[in-house]
Amino acid sequence: MNVHIIRDEHCPLAVYQNVFEKLSKSAGVIRFIKSKDDTLITDDTDDMFNEREREPINKYHFLSFSQLYDICENYRKKHSIDKNDHVFLLSGANNYQNWFSNMDHQRNNYFVQVTEWELFFGAETEVSFLLCYQVMAWLLKRNMFSSEKEVMDAVHHKPIGCMMDFCEEKKDITLKIRTADLCPKCLNIIKSKDVPLNFLNQVFSLWEEIRKNIAFRERAEFLNKMGRMIINPSKKILFFPDYGDIVVKLPPKEMTFYQLFISEPNGINMNSLIDHAKTLKDYYFIITGNDDIAATENIYSIHDNVPSQLLSRINRILVANLGKTLASYYTLEKTMNEPHKIRINREYVTLLP
Ligand SMILES: [Zn+2]
């Protein structure tokens, strides 16, 4: 079962990549395929965040269901996608009906709105988990029902914490995703429709992960608990095992910069970055295998504002992945007359070679 994940221009690349990564990690019969329109941008370039600088999504941008499905349809035509394949659009646009997601039964096209989730789950939630839930839920519905009418006949108008909750009140979606489950009635439909077991396994195991992540995060925030961070410079990732195995990817320059600040618990004055030029260069070389003097010179060239851009990008990525409360241990911050530093107690940090 091939499932293409695509995005429109209002869906930030970082959101898209987070969703795709989580989906593609889930093992099973569903094969997730990356958008062919995004192949030019890989995680390994320093350019991947350039477009994040663009204007945020316009909240007044509305599309109809058919306009959203047309984006899927155009993608199919452009890349000659098989009609049995599924195409999922991650959209930054609102829709007139105010739905989070929907499916075009006839043509295997779907959309999921990537915005406004924080209104219901709070700014601390990592949206990509919620979007993954939606993707899996629609694929399951596609296997359970053969028409839109069948779907509508089976929905629960009173929320009971089942995938089929209709959520007329948008806020009811929190119950549905927190439980990430199916009621006995819906399980019976699955049984009667002979939905393949290996497909179900994939759906349920990803849901389990989503549920675990939401619970982990809420508890960690409640306890305001400092969690371990494992840094893998060569893979350019920060790994947070205590927060439900969150993986945060940084581009090479950001990773280099972050590693420098981790190695200096007392912090660094941004005006004296030049004193650390050699260390930056060494780190950058280890990460990229590239003895790129120009790139490292860029990092400490104060005049064109590069360090503060790197700093705000790193902080933004951390907040997007960890939520504001937990991220505050790991972000680069400056207080009063102190230099910039990362608050985390270094006993909690493991730096892999
Ligand atoms: Zn149900």
Q: What is the mean pLDDT of residues 156-179?
A: 87
119 CA to centre of ligand 1 in angstroms: 25
Which of residues 295 and 131 earns the better pLDDT score? 131
Q: How many CA atoms lie within 13 A of 271 on its CB side?
A: 2
181 CA to centre of ligand 1 in angstroms: 8
**Three-state secondary structure string covering 102-151:** EEEHHHCEEEEECCCCHHHHCCCCCHHHHHHHHHHHHHHHHHHCCCHHHH
At residue 52, does pLDDT exceed 50?
no
Indicate the range of 223-227, 270-274, 307-311, 315-319 predicted with least confidence.
223-227
Q: What is the mean pLDDT of residues 88-97?
A: 90
Which of residues 20 and 323 earns the better pLDDT score? 20
Which of residues 150 and 177 earns the better pLDDT score? 150
83 CA to centre of ligand 1 in angstroms: 29
49 CA to centre of ligand 1 in angstroms: 41
173 CA to centre of ligand 1 in angstroms: 14
pLDDT bucket at 13, cuts 50 / 70 / 90: confident
Q: What is the mean pLDDT of residues 12-30?
A: 89
Query: What pLDDT is recorded for position 61?
Result: 78
What span, in angstroms and rounded, lies between the C-alpha atoms of 175 and 166? 11
Query: What pLDDT is recorded for position 54?
Result: 43
At residue 293, does pLDDT exceed 80?
no
The tens digit of pLDDT for each residue in 212-232 reads 887 777 777 777 778 899 999
Q: What is the mean pLDDT of residues 89-111?
A: 91
Query: What pLDDT is recorded for position 32?
Result: 96
162 CA to centre of ligand 1 in angstroms: 5
Query: What pLDDT is recorded for position 60?
Result: 65
Domain boundaries, given as residue ranges, for the chain = 2-222, 229-351
175 CA to centre of ligand 1 in angstroms: 13
4 CA to centre of ligand 1 in angstroms: 27
54 CA to centre of ligand 1 in angstroms: 41
Rounded to 10 degrees, what is the CA torsion of 125, 247, 198, 148? 30
At residue 75, does pLDDT exceed 90?
yes
At residue 55, does pLDDT exceed 50?
no
Query: What pLDDT is recorded for position 59?
Result: 58
14 CA to centre of ligand 1 in angstroms: 33
At residue 151, does pLDDT exceed 70?
yes
Nearest CA to 280 among 252, 305, 311, 308?
A: 252
101 CA to centre of ligand 1 in angstroms: 18
What span, in angstroms and rounded, lies between the C-alpha atoms of 184 and 190? 10
134 CA to centre of ligand 1 in angstroms: 15
Query: What pLDDT is recorded for position 49?
Result: 42
Query: What pLDDT is recorded for position 163?
Result: 93
Share of the chain above pLDDT 70, in %: 89
Nearest CA to 87 among 32, 126, 42?
A: 32
Query: What pLDDT is recorded for position 342?
Result: 95
**Alpha carbon of 230 to those of 52, 287, 350: distances in Å?**
26, 16, 5
Query: What pLDDT is recorded for position 184?
Result: 94
What span, in angstroms and rounded, lies between the C-alpha atoms of 207 and 209? 5
Q: Which fold, 2-222?
A: Collagenase (Catalytic Domain) (3.40.390)
Query: What pLDDT is recorded for position 91?
Result: 93
**Alpha carbon of 343 to those of 165, 237, 241, 261, 335: distances in Å?**
42, 19, 18, 10, 11
pLDDT bucket at 45, cuts 50 / 70 / 90: very low
Query: What pLDDT is recorded for position 288?
Result: 83
Q: Where are the alpha helices (DSSP H) in the chain?
A: 13-25, 65-79, 118-121, 127-144, 148-154, 173-179, 184-192, 197-223, 252-262, 277-288, 293-300, 306-322, 324-327
Burial class (CB in 10 A: 0-12, 13-18, 19+), 6: buried
153 CA to centre of ligand 1 in angstroms: 11
161 CA to centre of ligand 1 in angstroms: 8
166 CA to centre of ligand 1 in angstroms: 10
343 CA to centre of ligand 1 in angstroms: 45
156 CA to centre of ligand 1 in angstroms: 7
Indicate the range of 36-45, 158-167, 187-196 predicted with least confidence.
36-45
Whose structure tokens read 């915005």?
115
Q: What is the mean pLDDT of residues 103-107?
A: 92
13 CA to centre of ligand 1 in angstroms: 33
285 CA to centre of ligand 1 in angstroms: 54
At residue 296, does pLDDT exceed 90?
no
279 CA to centre of ligand 1 in angstroms: 57
Q: What is the mean pLDDT of residues 159-184?
A: 87
Candidate ranges 72-76, 129-133, 267-271; pick with highest mean pLDDT? 72-76
147 CA to centre of ligand 1 in angstroms: 17
At residue 26, does pLDDT exceed 70?
yes
195 CA to centre of ligand 1 in angstroms: 16
Share of the chain above pLDDT 90, in %: 48
187 CA to centre of ligand 1 in angstroms: 7
If you average pLDDT over every residue of the chain, what do you get?
Answer: 86
245 CA to centre of ligand 1 in angstroms: 30
138 CA to centre of ligand 1 in angstroms: 14
